[in-house]
Chains A and B, each alone.
Chain A
Amino acid sequence: MALDILQEKGVPLDKQVFTWKDLVRRPYSKLDDDAFTRVCVIYMNGIMADALRTKHAFARMNRELREPLAMIRRLEQYEQTLINWLNPPDQTPLETTLGFEQVAIEVTASVALREPDPYLAQTYRFGLLEDFDHLYRYSALYDRLEGKDPNTITQSYTDIIPGRPTSVEHRHPVDDLRRPYDKRTAHPLTKLHAMSITASENQTHDYYMTVGPFFSDPVARQLYAEIASIEEQHTSMYESLLDPGESMLERWLLHEAMEVYNFYSCVAFEKNPRIKEIWQRFLDYELGQLHYVKEIFQRVEKRDAAEVLPSTLPEPIGFKEHRDFVRKTLNQEEDMASNGQDYVRMADLPRDHRSYIWRDQLNSDGSPSETVAAGYKWIPGTELAARTPRMGSTFEGKKVH
């Protein structure tokens, strides 16, 4: 049933309380939980990180809103903590990275399929093919560095094949900027989508920047540097979709609605009752926060929040596999590039284009993403499983040394 966010009041702020024991709960199981439970945890951590990031930026530029921003920020920091601490300690940074890329593929695919604005939909498909390639590169790293199978994390939901090669994703900064939606005419879902994917990619960038130096292998360190750079490009690309003409309060109100929408989507998906209860609780908290901000918006801007907010939420995000859509997109749009704000075929860019010059400079000392996945084909049980059949069977005569 559709959620009427203007009617549902949620939990008032003074009832949104936590303890340290409550914040640090039993994590999900890396072995037994569904990959999309991990996807939701990683994704919602990104959404809440952006809630804080955005409000910190507001507070640095607005005296009047400092107190209400501080109030909401504190509650959201607790929410983010509880969510992020659901990641289990036996899930290594590289395994969590595979989860990040699964988020970037499946959530972006869901968004691209439902986005009403064709230009924004194209932007999501464009970014999707790049993150799709990152999963393949990190999978090769995981297999070759640790002798482990990346599909144990992605659980056969997502293809592990090359996308638009990471080595050609490096562009001139100007070629990452897009045309923003128009706040007056854009569908509310367009705004929720753009804020959600911006949040998710920004957190992916920050995560890679944090964990990259923990790796000992130089190619791993290089690969994190390279893909973090693409995530910075993606953050620039997606945030440029947001209309800079929106007032601070309008953006804040929309951000709260976006958080509500994403928790609502997680509630609709989650099968693990222990985790679902958390999504439901934070959906109710976020509704409370939305109404708190709505009051401020209406008082300060002297206009009805219903002008900005959708009354009912759209269909929840599809936390599920989108292989057919991703394959079709890869088949049709792998060779897309951007020239300023416009999409073109890569072959149509002149060889002296600024993005070629930018990319060639970066790759001139070798390409980490090409090195790590040279000749790599995923098969179940790691690429070593493809090597062993040549040795013959130990059950049928091969001597075990």
Chain B
Amino acid sequence: MKTTTSDMGRNRTGVATSPIDSADIIQEAEKHQPSHLGDGSLLLQVRQLYARESEGLGSVPPPASLKGVAKTAVDALKGSKPTVFIDKLGERLAFERSGTRLYEGALAKFDVYGGWEGGPTREGLEKIYNDELSHFLMLTEALKSLGADPTAVTPSAEVTAVVSQGLPMLIADPRANLRQSLEALLVAELTDNACWEMLIELARDLGHDTLADRFQLALDSEGQHLLWVRGWLAAGVSEEARGAPAGEKRAGTQPRV
């Protein structure tokens, strides 16, 4: 088990690892001209060509209930596009559901590594886990109330899943210790905060004030999560940088709930 993250060792990735070989290959690379003219923009031009031919990632499914059909028809008459809200609700639902798994993984790491001065506690991680799970529930209910299918993967849910695919990967990697895993939680919480804010604005714009009020409660707790995770991570980095003894299992800091 390795509790520290930044020890000096045999890292071989830089050119300074083997100065003689490196000087030799650098000199050889300088001598050879590229086989074809141009630059990196050609790659982007091909991407643009394909983008023009693209039909996107997929679609929002049709309403799952009669109530949804009626609601869609009413919204359409009012001149709005109800699928945008469904798409973004689907995104939040997927992110919160995956977020719950991230905290499960973090708790498993906490049991192995323990906390540190100013670091996470089991209670703190469990609190966030429960919050994420309750947000998932709230979004499921919100989608159902609009007659939409909460089990569907909407295009925005897919986008967010692609963007954040490294998060569960790092949390699940046993070689990444708890402090390193907090980096993944920080990215998740930063995204969570920005996306809840935008979802609330969208809900108010579309006249879903009751939902927007509920979402505000979620945003309030996400703000707290971000403060905690950022604080835990900063404390962990400073502790190691100060050369504080590592490897012993210590309790973290009780969050002020």
Contact across chains for B42 and A371 when beta carbons are under 8 A apart:
yes
Interface size class on chain B is 35 or more
B18's partner among A31, A155, A372 (CB-CB below 8 A) is: A155
- Shortest beta-carbon distance, B56 to chain A, in Å? 13
Residue contact B29 to A159, C-beta cutoff 8 Å: yes
Nearest to A33 among chain B residues (CB) is B12
Hey, which chain A residues are within 8 Å of B38, CB to CB?
A: 371, 374-375
Indicate if the CB atoms of B21 and A380 lie closer than 8 Å: no
A152 at the binding interface (Cβ < 8 Å): yes
Is A342 located at the chain interface by the 8 A CB criterion?
Answer: no
B24, CB-defined interface residue at 8 Å? yes
Q: Does A343 reach chain B (CB closer than 8 Å)?
A: no
- A370's partner among B21, B28, B35, B47 (CB-CB below 8 A) is B35
B39 within 8 A of A: yes
Assuming the contacts A144-B43, A160-B29, A321-B21, asked whether A31 and B34 have C-beta atoms less than 8 A apart, the reply is: no
Q: State the Cβ distance, B4 to closest chain A Cβ, in Å.
A: 14
Q: Judge whether B13 and A160 touch: CB under 8 Å.
A: no
CB–CB B9/A32 < 8 A: yes
Q: Pick the residue among B26, B39, B40 that contacts A380 (CB under 8 A).
A: B26
The answer to whether B34 and A218 have CB atoms under 8 Å apart is no
B25 at the interface (CB under 8 A from A): yes
Question: Is the C-beta of A297 less than 8 angstroms from some C-beta in chain B?
Answer: no
Within 8 A of A (CB), among B92-148: none
Interface residues of A in 192-235 (CB under 8 A from B): 217-219, 222
Known A-B contacts A217-B47, A383-B40; A162 and B35 likewise in contact (beta carbons under 8 Å): yes
Is A68 interfacial (CB-CB < 8 Å)? no
A155 lies within 8 A of B28 (CB): no
Measured between alpha carbons, how far is A33 from B12 in the docked complex, in Å?
7
* B84 part of interface (Cβ distance < 8 Å): no
- Judging by beta carbons under 8 Å apart, are A32 and B17 in contact? no
Does any Cβ of B come within 8 Å of A357's Cβ? no
Q: Flag if A155 contacts B36 (CB, 8 Å).
A: no
Q: Is the CB of A31 within 8 A of B47?
A: no
In the bound complex, do residue B34 and residue A155 qualify as a contact, i.e. CB atoms below 8 Å apart? no
A residues near B78, Cβ cutoff 8 Å: none
Question: Would you list which residues of chain A between 20 and 46 have a CB under 8 Å from chain B?
Answer: 26, 31-35
B32: CB under 8 A from chain A?
A: yes
Q: How far is the CB of A140 from chain B (nearest CB, A)?
A: 8
| Nearest-neighbor residue (CB-CB) of A141 within chain B | B43
What is the CA–CA distance of A34 and B46 in the complex, to the nearest angstrom? 36
Q: Is the CB of A377 within 8 A of B21?
A: no
A155 near B47: Cβ-Cβ < 8 Å? no
Q: Kindly supply a per-residue 1/0 record for chain B positions 43-57, scoring 1 wherever the CB is within 8 Å of any chain A CB and 0 otherwise.
A: 100110110000000
Instruction: Report the bound CA distance from A161 to B31 in whole Å.
Output: 9
- B residues within 8 A CB of A375? 34, 36-40
- Assess whether A373 is interfacial by the CB under 8 Å rule: yes
> Considering the chains assembled together, what is the distance between the CA atoms of A33 and B11 in angstroms?
7
User: Which chain A residues in 148-171 approach chain B with CB under 8 Å?
Assistant: 151-152, 155-162, 165
Say if the beta carbon of A378 comes within 8 Å of chain B: yes
Contact A374–B14 (Cβ < 8 Å): no
Q: Which of A373-400 contact B (CB under 8 A)?
A: 373-380, 383
Minimum CB–CB distance for A163 against chain B, Å: 9
Q: Interface digits, A165-196 against B, CB 8 Å rule (1 contact, 0 not)?
A: 10000000000000000000000000000000
A244 within 8 A of B: no
Bound together, the chains give a CA A162 to CA B33 distance in angstroms of 8
Instruction: Name A155's contact: one of B17, B26, B50 (CB within 8 Å).
Output: B17
Within 8 Å CB of A155, what residues of B?
A: 12-13, 17-18
- Interface digits, B203-219 against A, CB 8 Å rule (1 contact, 0 not)? 00000000000000000
Assuming the A-B contacts A371-B46, A380-B26, are A162 and B173 also in contact, with contact meaning beta carbons closer than 8 angstroms in the complex? no
Q: Contact mask A353-380 → B, CB, 8 Å, 1/0? A: 0000000000000100011111111111
CA distance A35 to B17 in the complex (A): 12
Report yes or no: A217 in contact with B25, Cβ–Cβ below 8 A: no
A207 to B25, CA, bound (A): 28
State the Cβ distance, A91 to closest chain B Cβ, in Å.
Answer: 12
The docked-state distance in angstroms from the alpha carbon of A166 to that of B35 is: 10
- In the complex, A135→B146 CA distance in Å? 53
Least CB separation from B45: chain A residue:
A371
Judge if A89 is at the interface, Cβ distance under 8 Å: yes
B42 near A32 with CB under 8 A, answer no
Q: Is the CB of B28 within 8 A of A159?
A: yes
| B10 is an interface residue with CB less than 8 A from chain A | yes
Task: List residues of chain A with CB under 8 Å of any chain B CB.
Answer: 26, 31-35, 88-90, 144-145, 151-152, 155-162, 165, 217-219, 222, 321, 323, 327, 366, 370-380, 383
24 A–B pairs (Cβ distance < 8 Å), ordered by A: A31-B12, A32-B9, A32-B11, A34-B12, A35-B12, A88-B175, A90-B173, A151-B15, A151-B25, A155-B12, A155-B18, A156-B17, A156-B18, A165-B35, A165-B36, A217-B43, A218-B46, A219-B47, A374-B39, A375-B34, A375-B39, A377-B34, A378-B29, A383-B40
Which A-B residue pairs are the 8 nearest by beta carbons?
A374-B38, A152-B13, A156-B21, A161-B32, A218-B50, A162-B35, A370-B36, A375-B39
9 extra interface residue pairs, beta carbon distance < 8 Å, beyond A371-B42, A371-B43: A89-B169, A151-B15, A155-B13, A156-B24, A157-B18, A159-B25, A165-B36, A218-B50, A378-B29
